[in-house]
Structure 1
Amino acid sequence: MTQRYWLMKSEPEEASIDDLASAKHQTLAWTGVRNYQARNFMRDEMHEGDGVLFYHSSCAVPGIAGLATVASTPYPDPTQFDPKSPYFDPKSTPESPRWLLVDVKLDRKTRLVPLTEMRQMAELDGMQVLARGNRLSITPVSPKHWKFITQHLVEA
């Protein structure tokens, strides 16, 4: 099985790289995905061991904040069944869940690589997160982009 790479966005107030670093076993369930395309990536294409660029979004300086690994196979997101959760989905049932998640395990925190810096790198042309209007919380990352980012940008 070929290793794949992903960029996974999280709002730091919801789940930051520091939250991941302080979580039990440095692992978090990636809850709250409510976009079918992002869900399908988790369901159909993500595998344990895949690389993750942990990306802070909807904040003062969005960008890559760390490296992580997909640490589980997909399973139902429990927040969809909790009426008190902002991610509650009344149409989803335990017998027929709509929303899935994977666990993500910290590899290491990195320096913050701002979106503005990434946009200036010709080596990252074509990276989905850099496309204007891209709102997906999970996007695939090509091996070429992964290699450039991990070898040249995230080092302090």
Structure 2
Amino acid sequence: MNYWLMKSEPDVFSIDDLKTKTTSWDGVRNYQARNHMKNMKQGDLVFFYHSSCKNIGIAGIAKVITEAYPDHTSWEPSNHYFDPKSTPDNPKWFMVDLEFVRKFPKIISLSSLKESPELKDMPLLKKGNRLSVMPVSEIEWQVINRKQSHTI
């Protein structure tokens, strides 16, 4: 199993929104983030991260339920994520489907993550890393889950 972190602005789509419905993670328009999604496997677990908000941090866990498939929103001229270079015959962008696993009782803040020496190499904590999809090592996954159990 692989582990991931995916960012979303909660005023657009939050962990509570995911709780009520499975979602297609569309609109990723960064090649590195897209490649991470293409490496996701069914059953992989994801930290759901709230960004660009008052309470930035990990809000819960989701699960990958479909492996990467072409992001059809890139073919729709009226869609915000339209890309004229992406076509059904030659898709440039991909998405995966996620389902809710659990919401943490309290968001694990970015500052709390930065306090853990075991997480010093985590891509999320590297200066200038703004990727919306990134891998999480098994050790990082375990450390963060231990933090979550201490926030209850």
TM-score interval (norm. to shorter)? over 0.9
Note the 1:61-76 alignment, pairs <5 A.
61-76=55-70
Identify the residue that residue 99 of structure 1 maps to in structure 2.
Answer: 93
**TM score, norm. by length of structure 1:** 0.91
Gaps of 5+ in 2: none
Residue 153 (structure 1) shift:
2.4
- Identity among equivalent pairs (%): 50
Q: 1:127 is matched with which residue: 101, 116, 122?
A: 122
Q: Secondary structure at the match of 2:49?
A: strand
Q: Secondary structure at the match of 2:67?
A: coil
Residue 91 (structure 1) shift:
1.3
> 1: CA distance between counterparts of 2:97 and 2:136?
18
Q: Does the 8 Å CA contact 2:2/2:44 hold for their aligned counterparts?
A: yes
Q: Secondary structure at the match of 2:134?
A: strand
Superimposed CA distance per residue, residues 104-152 of structure 1 (whole angstroms, 9 cap, x where no aligned partner): 1111011211111111112211111011111111111010010111133
Q: 1:8 is matched with which residue: 3, 6, 9?
A: 6
Identify the residue that residue 37 of structure 1 maps to in structure 2.
Answer: 32
Q: Amino acid of the residue matched to residue 132 of structure 1? A: K
Identify the residue that residue 142 of structure 2 maps to in structure 1.
Answer: 147
Superimposed CA distance per residue, residues 45-78 of structure 1 (whole angstroms, 9 cap, x where no aligned partner): 2101111000011112210001011110111112
Residue 30 (structure 1) shift:
0.4
Superimposed CA distance per residue, residues 71-106 of structure 1 (whole angstroms, 9 cap, x where no aligned partner): 101111121112222111111111111100001111
> 1: CA distance between counterparts of 2:137 and 2:99?
20
Q: Amino acid of the residue matched to residue 16 of structure 2? A: D
Q: Which has the higher strand share?
A: 2
**TM score, norm. by length of structure 2:** 0.94
Q: Is 1:81–2:75 an aligned residue pair?
A: yes
Residue 15 (structure 1) shift:
1.3
Q: 1:54 is matched with which residue: 39, 48, 53?
A: 48
Which structure 1 residue ranges, 4+ long, deviate > 4 Å from structure 2? none
Alignment RMSD, CA only? 1.2
